[in-house]
Amino acid sequence: MNSIPASQLVSVNPGVIGTGGSPLSLNSVFLTNDPSIPIGAVQPFPTYLSVSNWFGAGAIEANQAAIYFNGFDNSNIKPGNLFFAQYPVAPVAAYLRGGSLGAMTLTQLKAITGILTVTVDGVVKTSSSINLSAATSFSNAATIIAAAFTSGPTVTYDSLRNAFVVTSTTTGASSTMSIGSGSIAAPLMLTTATGAVLSQGAIAAVEASFMNALIQVTQNWAPFMTMWEPLIADKMAFAAWANTQNDRYAYVAWDSDITATQSGNTTGFGPQLIAGNYDGTIPVYPAIDKAAFICGSIASIDFTETNGRITLAYKGQSGLVADVTDPTSAANLIANGYNFYGNYATANQQFTFLQPGSMPGKWKWIDP
C-alpha cells in the first residue's frame, strides 16, 4: 500500500479558543435535499438508527450519520444529536403528510369511506366519495384517493414513514397546503391531532438567507455540512455566511476537485478561502464521509474532561479509508488549505488519520 512518509508530519501548537461557562452542545446540522424534512424545520435525530429508520438504511443521510455518531476513536463521549434541514436546490411543492399508519392493517384501511377536503394553493379541494374497500395495498389506496379529486392534488403513500402524502401540483412560494378535514381525514391521520405535518412550497434556497432562517429555529449546533456537493460558487456563498458569524458556526465543506492536489492552484475552493482570509470554513478533500467524520469528531469533545480539548489532527475512526497516500498530494493539499484523511508510514508502522487539522483565517487550527 502506498503511504505518506511520517517524517512529513510536523509538531504544531494549535490555537485554543476559550469558551468560558458551560459550552453549547457542538451538534451538527446536515443540509439535505430530501423533502421528508418539512421546509423550515430543523429535525433532531438522537442516534444513527433513528436516521436510518427515517431516511432508509441505504440513504446517503444514513451512511453519513453512521460515521458522524461514531465520532473519533477513543473519545470519552460520542455525538448525542444530529439535526437535518431540507435545503431546496430547486423550487419544491407543498405537501401534507399524515401521521403514522404503521399500526393500521389493510383490512382496517379497506373499511374507510367518506370525504376528504384540503386547501391547495389557496383553493378548497373536496373529493368525491372515497371508498377504500377495493384497495389492494396502502399505495393502491393512495391512487384511489387521488382519483377522487378532479384536478389534483396528488396522493402517494410513504412506506418509510407509513403515511399518506397529499402534494400540490405546483412548486415555489405560491404552492401551499392545508391540514385535512372531512370524514376520512382523521382515520387517514391527516389532521393535526393525528400527527399530520405540513411543508409549504418554497423557491430555490439562497445560502445566506437559508442559514439566517435556520438559526432562528435553533442555535444548538456548531458545524454544518451538505449531503450533496455544491458548485464552487455556492460553497463560497456558504463560506461567506460562516465568515460573518463571529466564529459561532463552521462550514465543513467537502470538495472533490482534483486540482486541490495540484501545486500552483489559485482558483480552487481552498485557495479562494486563503486569499480571502475567510474564517469559519473547514475544507476537506475529497469526500463527504470525511466531512461527516469531522462533524462527528467535533461533537465528541468532552469539555468536562481534564485537558478535554482536542486538535482534529491525528484523529481517526476505525473503518474509514484513507483518500491520500502519497506525499506530493498531501503537501499540495495542505498548501491549498485542505484537510484530508491520509495513510502515513514509518519503517515498520502505518497510521491512518486526519491531517493537518487546519482551517483558513485567523484561527488556523480546528480546535473547538
Q: How far is CA 358 from the centre of its chain?
A: 22
* 94: number of Cβ within 10 Å: 27
Q: Which amino acid is at 309?
A: R
pLDDT of 19 reads 40
pLDDT at position 14:
37
Q: Which three cell numbers stand for residue 366?
A: 480546528
pLDDT digits (tens, 9 = 90+) for 156-165: 999 999 999 9
pLDDT of residue 5: 63
CA of 40: how far to CAs of 9, 200, 217, in Å?
Answer: 44, 9, 8
Angle at 177 between CA 174 and CA 178, to 5 degrees: 140
CA distances from 221 to 30, 64, 242, 267 (A): 11, 17, 13, 31
What gap in Å lies between CA 322 and CA 342, rounded to an integer? 5
* Residue 291: its H or E element: helix 288-298
**Alpha helix segments (H runs only) across 24-59:** 48-55
pLDDT at 24: 63
The pLDDT of residue 368 is: 75
| Cβ pair 177, 35 in contact under 8 A | no
Q: Which residue has the cell 479562494?
A: 272
What DSSP assignment string belongs to 297-361?
HHTT--TTSTT----STT---TTPPPSB-SHHHHHHHHHTT-EEEEEEE-SS-EEEEEE--B-SS
Provide the pLDDT for residue 367: 85
pLDDT for the residue numbered 278: 98
Residues 6+ apart with CB under 8 A from 306: none
Q: Which stretches of the chain score pLDDT less than 70?
A: 1, 3-24
